[in-house]
Structure 1
Amino acid sequence: MQFKQVLLCLSLVLFSTRLIAAETLKGEILKTQTAGGYTYILLKTDSEDIWVATMEIPVKKGQTVELKSGMVMKNFESKSLNRVFDRIVFSSGLVSSDNGLHSHGGVYHSHDANTDHTHSHQSDSEDPIAALSKGTWKQKDHQHSVEKHSEADSYTVEELYRKGKELNLRTVRVKGKVTKVLSQIMNKNWIHLQDGTGNPSQGTHDLVVTSQELPKVGDVVSMAGTLYYEKDFGSGYSYKVIVEEASIVK
């Protein structure tokens, strides 16, 4: 096989498995639907027509918008719309639109003095955007009191945030109540644990743990895994601390 053919094959493989969309997605809205707290947009770009999902925003067919990039997911099922998208981009927000709409801190504003387009997203959804866009979509704060284990490698949620830098790449154990679970996103389950420690206003009360195990919301579990400090998945999806490849332990 000639070099050019090999290069072409590699390019096709990389394109077909790409997880991150282009830096921004700009085009005309061909179709839009809002459900479950999210807006789904069929966007006509220069290169293709593509579905994009983002937090609920006041847009309509025919508008030109520019959206931030995000994770690309294949065969995604939206329960709120009762349909499966062959391919969809989960955008982390709007950059701009032809009606002056822009985002600031998760709240959308319009420069049009005659139109009130201010919108703040506050609803939960079954869709995975909330798990992969921490800080963009609000989650309900919960108060739980769970006593930590006595083992040397055991920490509270607050301690993991406070000591994250020194614990980077070390195996840690944490016990907490499962407040949210999103299954099989990027081939792993995303589990939110809270133990009553930490500061909700600073986001240090909620720990994300990834695992192949699947506890239920409301379960109190102990999990052990590798802590990563300032883990960046790209495209704006980053975590101050996250525990990966965790398993449930006694």
Structure 2
Amino acid sequence: MRLKFLVLSFAVIIVLSACSKKEEQNQPQTQTKVQPKVNAHQVVSQEVLQVNSYTYIRVKDGDKEYWVAGPAMDVKKGETLYFVKSMEMKNFESKELKRTFESLFFVDNISKIPPADAQDGLTATPQKPTLEKANVSVEPAAGGITISQLFSNLNSYANKTVLLKGKVVKINNGIMGKNWAHIQDGTSSGGDFDLTVTTNDALSVGDVLTFEGKISLNKDFGYGYSYKVLMEDAKSKK
């Protein structure tokens, strides 16, 4: 499967902290030691598999070992690596490798240098991005619903295909083979004003589009990361 990874601003979808660090690894002498300030993972590569545009790495994190995948990079066994955000996929099949990974963490960015703002130590608690309500006012699509109507009647729309027009306020491309967008229309129900949409369409922040997709409730992607409501495999149009 061909996946494209971009640095997550949150978005979605799409991203979160992974496994906790059990012990500090020694950094290569060529690296500059930086005092960490945000949650980051320090791991050591154990095995490296290269495919077109992507790199699969079996890493050791304290006393744990697991597989991660990210943008293609030159990595050798024994190198110390760092990453911040990841998303776990169970039983992921790589057609290029002709192999199924029981567990694979997709990583948006892997670095040989610790993040300048990384915290000393890691956390296993998934973290979603903080979303702010945008100053938007979008007219509902003909025959469609609003975000307010959706969140006010979730059970009525569960597993149904709906039309919803909104403005793209955040976008993360190529996560698990899909683009993940946050859309808002200016309406809300309680504290809910933002809808996450997965699509294969190319989107940009600021686009005002009508989305048609299936509504899924309590969608769990594993590792404690779940969505109360999600519009999946949406098609968009102006």
Corresponding position: 1:187 with 2:187: no
AA aligned opposite 2:22: G
What residue is the counterpart of 2:132 in the other structure? 140
Counting helix residues as a fraction of each chain, which structure ranks higher? 1
| Identical-pair percentage | 30
Does residue 27 in structure 1 map to residue 31 in structure 2? no
Between the two structures, name the one with larger relative contact order (CA 8 Å, sep ≥ 6): 2
Shift of 1:213: 0.4
CA deviation string 1:13-37 (max 9, x = no partner): xxxxxxxxxx954521215868996
Counterpart in 1 of 2:212?
224
Deviation at 1:182, TM superposition (A): 0.1
Which whole-Å deviations, capped at 9, do the CAs of 1:78-116 have from their partners, x for residues lacking one? 5xx698xxxxxxxxx725xxxxxxx8xxxxxxxxxxxxx
TM-score (ref. length: structure 1): 0.55
Q: Which moved more, 1:34-43 or 1:238-247?
A: 34-43
Unpaired runs of 5+ residues, structure 2, are 1-17, 28-32, 44-59, 68-80, 89-103, 114-121
User: TM-score, normalised to structure 2's length?
Assistant: 0.57
Question: Within 1, Cα distance between the matches of 2:176 and 2:37?
Answer: 21
In 1, distance between residues paired with 2:107 and 2:220?
24
Equivalent positions of 1:97-116 (< 5 A) are none
- 1:79-118 paired onto structure 2 within 5 Å: 94=123
Q: CA RMSD for the aligned pairs? A: 3.5
Paired residues, number? 163
Q: Which residue of 2 aligns with 1:77?
A: 109
Matched, 1:206 2:204: no
Letter matched to residue 226 of structure 1: K
Quick one: distance in 1 between partners of 2:36 and 2:231?
A: 31
Cα distance in 2 for partners of 1:222, 1:185 equals 22
- State how far apart, in whole Å, the 1-side matches of 2:232 and 2:182 are: 12
Larger radius of gyration: 1
Shift of 1:218: 0.5
Question: Which AA in structure 2 matches 1:45?
Answer: G
Give unmatched runs, 5+ long, in structure 1. 1-22, 56-68, 84-92, 96-102, 104-132
CA distance in 2, matches of 1:223, 1:41: 39
Distance (Å, rounded) in 1 between the aligned partners of 2:66 and 2:213: 40
Q: Is the 8 A contact 1:183 1:190 kept in 2?
A: yes
Q: Does 1:176 align with 2:166?
A: yes
Q: Is the 8 A contact 1:164 1:228 kept in 2?
A: no
Deviation at 1:150, TM superposition (A): 2.6
Matched, 1:235 2:236: no
Letter in 2 for 1:171: T
Aligned partners of 2:20 and 2:41 also within 8 Å: no
Show CA shifts across 1:145-170 (max 9, x none). Answer: 0010131xx11112111211121110
Amino acid at match of 1:221: L
Question: Which of these residues, 150, 164, 178, is aligned with residue 154 of structure 2?
Answer: 164
Q: In the alignment, is residue 215 of structure 1 matched against residue 203 of structure 2?
A: yes
